[in-house]
């Protein structure tokens, strides 16, 4: 009889009801799940799940019953919005911003305080995870006045408030005025410049009242990316005039710059305290956060950005701090729409983006009370909410794990994982000296490309002795790679002969051949196997809990970069010659969008760097913990894996180029490689045939992982520079862009 019951159950399961394909996708994205995670759980291929979500195929028993069970549970957690008129898009990879035309004239609106409950963002909102962050604005925008907001005269000074490609405010009614506002004072009147050309009158006469106005009346903020996440807090940017109006200094003193904040006894901080507002531990600095403790789902927090206090570092934001308010709102608004609302420096924002796409926890409904609460377990695919210790070999010098090492002990390769970017150069050969030019190629968004599709550890490491190497398993491996001979390697399925003396080793940042066992991340060891050599690790720290944590992060930043470069006239589908022409002077076509492009690239590098943030003063001593260690996102192993993959990706291109052309690089610095060539243009030496590049080699283009022209100098320039500093292996990749070399660059 039990067999009959089983047969009946199987028959019912074979007809299990499933939601429409678009709803399947929405439910997965709302919980922050990737297609790979669902495929792994159901023991099917990634393409199978993708087909189910696109409607091309339908699940069949026995997977159909399990898939229906998964979707039913997700539907309980994330019911479809009542007003959802169209299927939601994949929130794990949020849609990129679409450029809109400039309004014919900016709008100046005055605001009165609407009901606070209707204006405050809630953490557990059922807003669709894919709610767009920007929407097209009509050429001459008009908006009916609400009972709490009346139109005023249009100000001539605000006519340039919305240049081309300015994002409009969000479609979420809570955040209809966009994610941020730049507050300035003109003719004694306080104005808030928002995205899309909107200008609001600000009635606040003190900083505490400005915070209240922002939360109750400004309708600023940004919807969360995924279901378990949180809406972004509104960002207020204060100009120097606004600082003066609200009693803050226009610039910080030298002592305050070192401390990163104004004194705790400052009158404005006392005003905030009297109004029951609090500051985070970093105090009132360039990126201050002002909040009140959340009550249930009612979150009250405002982020401040103060450009004159160096909040917008010119190394990454160029001249953004000097822009007029309307133009600054445009720059930061485009960045917020395409990346996220800034949470601090570009590095901090890069790290926060990882968390926003993979929140550490999620909400579950209590079976007894029916109230939503945070789940005890972490969100699938996230790093969780608790920090974990690295493996001893992954810990940087001074880490508490190493406090028992003898004083002044220097760890060697067999004790320390040292995965860093290339800094390698060699003397030119006689044949190369007869050529006329040195041509530099730079890999676009190299570290972002290195993160794409990379499995990384999500949990604690497991120590294993004499492991069998698995290229799909993230971890750190102690293995001897000194036997790998670069003069004879596999390229694809074929063995090829190369001049190994002209190639850097792929296993060390300085390009030196290893002399014995050393610690390596998985991509480095996998490349040794790819080159045709056996490996025999003696020890490893492996992470069996792993996933492609950075995929959504990469996709978001890639799309942001490509959209911004398209605004600058550099499209992704250009032919090689057209691409080189489009890149010539592209920053001058729209300097503001050029600032955004620079900030996006800085977000990639800075976010990855933050994964292994070192002590920053704080009275730290070696062996003691520092503040960054308390973050779940302090993960030096993930940073090492991305850098390892990035370096290997570049070396693979170099080897394929050498095997096909016989040309070898003379210098490499991080993602820039320099070749000696007869012509000054990359097309003079890259092996394009009928417009098609060498498969697996260097390809010109704007996409991450493709290359652009970094610069060209003469061979005579290179030899003269090396002779001047008596350094035959001076890294010319450092100066190839403009040819300027200073004594400071060489430590003299």
pLDDT tens column, 237-262:
999 999 999 999 999 999 999 999 99
User: What pLDDT score does 238 carry?
Assistant: 98
Structure-block tokens of residue 242: 């606004």
User: What pLDDT score does 3 carry?
Assistant: 63
Q: Name every residue whose Cβ is closer than 8 Å to that of residue 307 and which is 6 or more positions away in sequence.
A: 237, 238, 239, 320, 321, 328
Share of the chain above pLDDT 70, in %: 83
CA angle 145, 150, 153 (to 5 degrees): 110
- Determine the Cα–Cα distance for residues 118 and 103; give it in Å rounded to an integer: 28
Q: Residues 327, 592: contact at Cβ < 8 Å? A: yes
Across 90-99, 609-618, 697-706, least confident range: 90-99
Q: Residues 552, 448: contact at Cβ < 8 Å? A: no
- Determine the Cα–Cα distance for residues 678 and 416; give it in Å rounded to an integer: 42
Structure-block tokens of residue 25: 């996708």
Q: DSSP characters for 586-620?
A: GGGG-HHHHHHHHHHHHHHHHHHHHTTPPP-STT-
User: What pLDDT score does 51 carry?
Assistant: 82
Strand ranges across the sheet with 667-669:
423-425, 667-669, 672-677, 437-443, 707-714
User: What pLDDT score does 27 carry?
Assistant: 87
Structure-block tokens of residue 101: 């035309």
* Residue 277: φ, ψ to 5°: -95, 150
Alpha carbons within 13 A on the beta-carbon side of 189:
12
Give the model's confidence band at 475: pLDDT under 50 very low, under 70 low, under 90 confident, else very high: very high
Residue 523 in this model has a pLDDT that exceeds 80? yes
Give the model's confidence band at 472: pLDDT under 50 very low, under 70 low, under 90 confident, else very high: very high
Q: DSSP characters for 322-355?
A: GS-HHHHHHHHHHHHHHT----SSHHHHHHHHHH
Residue 464 β-bridge partners: 540
Residue 10 in this model has a pLDDT that exceeds 70? no
User: What pLDDT score does 52 carry?
Assistant: 86
User: What pLDDT score does 55 carry?
Assistant: 83
DSSP state of 194: E
Alpha carbons within 13 A on the beta-carbon side of 9:
9
For the chain, domain boundaries: 2-77, 107-344, 392-419+450-547
Q: Residues 441, 698: contact at Cβ < 8 Å? A: yes
Could you give the C-alpha distances from 537 to 468, 525, 576, in angstroms and in order? Answer: 7, 9, 43
Share of the chain above pLDDT 90, in %: 68
Closest CA to 670 of 698, 696, 651: 651
Residue 604 in this model has a pLDDT that exceeds 90? yes
User: What pLDDT score does 169 carry?
Assistant: 61
Across 115-119, 268-272, 279-283, least confident range: 115-119
What does the pLDDT look like over 178-189, one tens digit per residue? Answer: 999 999 999 999
Closest CA to 635 of 403, 386, 464: 386
Q: Name every residue whose Cβ is closer than 8 Å to that of residue 523 and which is 6 or more positions away in sequence.
A: 454, 641, 644, 645, 648
Residue 690 in this model has a pLDDT that exceeds 90? no
Structure-block tokens of residue 229: 């996440």
User: What pLDDT score does 744 carry?
Assistant: 56
pLDDT mean over 76-90? 57
User: What pLDDT score does 102 carry?
Assistant: 36
Across 119-133, 159-173, 373-387, least confident range: 119-133
Structure-block tokens of residue 76: 């309980």
Closest CA to 248 of 179, 330, 181, 307: 307
- Determine the Cα–Cα distance for residues 109 and 218; give it in Å rounded to an integer: 11
What does the pLDDT look like over 96-107, one tens digit per residue? Answer: 333 333 333 344
Residue 364 in this model has a pLDDT that exceeds 90? no
Across 145-154, 347-356, 616-625, 647-656, least confident range: 145-154
Integer Rg of the chain from CA: 28
**Helices (H) and strands (E) in the chain — how many of each?**
21, 24
Q: Residues 353, 340: contact at Cβ < 8 Å? A: yes
Q: Name the pairing type of β-strands 235-238 and 180-186.
A: parallel
User: What pLDDT score does 227 carry?
Assistant: 83
Q: Which residue has the tokens 């001047």?
A: 724
Structure-block tokens of residue 183: 């507050």
Closest CA to 709 of 595, 570, 566: 570
Give the model's confidence band at 125: pLDDT under 50 very low, under 70 low, under 90 confident, else very high: very low
What does the pLDDT look like over 426-449, one tens digit per residue? Answer: 999 999 999 999 999 999 999 999
What does the pLDDT look like over 561-593, one tens digit per residue? Answer: 999 999 999 999 999 999 999 999 999 999 999
pLDDT mean over 10-16? 57
Closest CA to 349 of 605, 579, 146: 605
Tell me which of 143 and 243 has the higher pLDDT. 243
What does the pLDDT look like over 211-243, one tens digit per residue? Answer: 999 999 999 999 999 888 889 999 999 999 999
Q: Name the pairing type of β-strands 437-443 and 539-542.
A: unpaired
Closest CA to 215 of 341, 122, 308, 344: 122
Closest CA to 271 of 256, 251, 252, 290: 290
Arithmetic mean of pLDDT over the chain: 85
User: What pLDDT score does 114 carry?
Assistant: 34
Virtual torsion, Cα 7, 12, 15, 19, nearest 10 deg = -140
CA angle 628, 634, 637 (to 5 degrees): 145
User: What pLDDT score does 296 carry?
Assistant: 59
- Determine the Cα–Cα distance for residues 25 and 637; give it in Å rounded to an integer: 31
User: What pLDDT score does 158 carry?
Assistant: 36
What does the pLDDT look like over 654-672, one tens digit per residue? Answer: 999 999 999 999 999 999 9
What does the pLDDT look like over 455-468, one tens digit per residue? Answer: 999 999 999 999 99
| Burial per residue of 229-239, b for 16 or more beta-carbon CB atoms within 10 angstroms, e otherwise | bbbbbbbbbbb
Question: Considering the domain 2-77, what is its CATH architecture?
Answer: Orthogonal Bundle (1.10)
Closest CA to 203 of 173, 223, 182, 183: 183
Give the model's confidence band at 142: pLDDT under 50 very low, under 70 low, under 90 confident, else very high: very low
Residue 127 in this model has a pLDDT that exceeds 60? no
User: What pLDDT score does 93 carry?
Assistant: 34
Residue 707 β-bridge partners: 443, 700
User: What pLDDT score does 317 carry?
Assistant: 97
pLDDT mean over 494-523? 97
Most confident segment among 117-131, 145-159, 677-691: 677-691
Virtual torsion, Cα 648, 650, 651, 657, nearest 10 deg = 150
């Amino acid at each position: 009889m039990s067999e009959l019951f089983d047969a009946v159950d199987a028959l019912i399961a074979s007809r299990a009801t499933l939601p429409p394909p678009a709803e399947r996708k929405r439910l997965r994205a709302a919980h922050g799940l990737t297609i790979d995670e669902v495929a792994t759980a159901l023991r099917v291929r990634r393409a199978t799940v993708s087909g189910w979500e696109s409607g091309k195929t339908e699940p069949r028993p026995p997977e159909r019953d399990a898939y229906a069970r998964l979707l039913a549970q997700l539907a309980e957690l994330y019911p479809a919005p009542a007003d959802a008129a169209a299927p939601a898009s994949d929130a794990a990879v949020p849609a990129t911003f679409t450029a809109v035309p400039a309004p014919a004239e900016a709008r100046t609106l005055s605001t009165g305080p609407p009901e606070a409950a209707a204006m405050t963002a809630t953490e557990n909102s059922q807003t669709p995870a894919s709610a767009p962050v920007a929407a097209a604005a009509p050429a001459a925008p008009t908006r009916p006045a609400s009972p709490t907001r009346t139109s005023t005269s249009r100000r001539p000074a605000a006519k340039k408030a919305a240049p081309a490609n300015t994002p409009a405010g969000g479609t979420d009614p809570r955040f209809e005025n966009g994610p941020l506002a730049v507050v300035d004072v003109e003719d004694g009147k306080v104005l808030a410049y928002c995205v899309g050309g909107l200008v609001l009158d600000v009635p606040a006469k003190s900083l505490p009242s400005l915070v209240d106005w922002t939360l109750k009346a400004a309708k600023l903020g940004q919807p969360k990316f995924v279901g378990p996440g949180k809406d972004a807090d509104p960002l207020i940017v204060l100009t120097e005039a606004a600082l003066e109006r609200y009693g803050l200094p226009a610039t910080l003193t030298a002592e305050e710059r070192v401390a990163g904040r104004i004194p705790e006894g400052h009158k404005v901080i006392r005003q905030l305290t009297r109004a029951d507002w609090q500051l985070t531990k970093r105090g009132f600095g360039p990126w201050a956060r002002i909040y009140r403790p959340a009550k249930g789902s009612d979150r009250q927090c405002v982020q401040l950005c103060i450009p004159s206090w160096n909040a917008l570092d010119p190394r990454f934001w160029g001249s953004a701090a000097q822009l007029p308010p309307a133009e600054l709102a445009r720059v930061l608004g485009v960045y917020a729409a395409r990346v996220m609302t800034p949470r601090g420096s570009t590095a901090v924002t890069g790290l926060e983006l990882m968390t926003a796409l993979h929140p550490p926890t999620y909400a579950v409904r209590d079976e007894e009370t029916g109230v939503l609460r945070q789940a005890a377990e972490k969100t699938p695919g996230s790093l969780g909410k608790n920090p974990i210790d690295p493996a001893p070999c992954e810990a940087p010098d001074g880490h508490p794990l190493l406090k028992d090492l003898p004083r002044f002990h220097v760890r060697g390769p067999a004790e320390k994982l040292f995965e860093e970017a290339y800094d390698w150069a060699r003397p030119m050969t006689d044949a190369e000296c007869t050529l006329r030019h040195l041509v530099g190629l730079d890999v676009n968004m190299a570290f972002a490309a290195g993160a794409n599709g990379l499995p990384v550890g999500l949990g604690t490491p497991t120590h294993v002795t004499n492991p069998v190497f698995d290229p799909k398993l993230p971890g750190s491996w102690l293995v001897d790679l000194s036997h790998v001979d670069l003069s004879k390697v596999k390229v694809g399925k074929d063995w090829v002969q190369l001049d190994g003396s002209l190639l850097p080793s792929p296993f060390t940042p300085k390009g030196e051949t290893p002399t014995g066992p050393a610690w390596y991340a998985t991509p480095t060891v996998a490349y040794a196997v790819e080159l045709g050599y056996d490996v025999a690790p003696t020890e490893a720290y492996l992470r069996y809990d792993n996933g492609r944590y950075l995929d959504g992060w990469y996709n978001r930043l890639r799309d942001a970069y490509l959209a911004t470069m398209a605004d600058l006239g550099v499209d992704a589908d250009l032919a090689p010659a057209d691409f080189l022409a489009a890149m010539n002077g592209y920053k001058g076509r729209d300097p503001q969008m050029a600032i955004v492009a620079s900030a996006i690239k800085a977000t990639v590098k800075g976010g990855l760097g933050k994964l292994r943030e070192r002590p920053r003063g704080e009275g730290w001593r070696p062996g003691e913990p520092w503040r960054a260690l308390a973050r779940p996102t302090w993960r030096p192993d993930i940073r090492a894996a991305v850098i390892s993959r990035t370096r290997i990706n570049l070396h693979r291109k170099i080897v394929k180029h050498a095997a096909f052309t016989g040309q070898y690089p003379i210098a490499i610095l991080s993602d820039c490689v320099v070749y000696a060539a007869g012509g000054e243009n990359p097309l003079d030496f890259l092996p394009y045939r009928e417009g098609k590049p060498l498969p697996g080699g260097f390809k010109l283009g704007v996409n991450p992982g493709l290359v652009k022209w970094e610069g060209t100098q003469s061979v005579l320039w290179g030899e003269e520079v090396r002779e001047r500093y008596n350094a035959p292996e001076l890294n010319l990749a450092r100066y190839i862009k403009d040819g300027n070399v200073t004594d400071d660059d060489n430590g003299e």
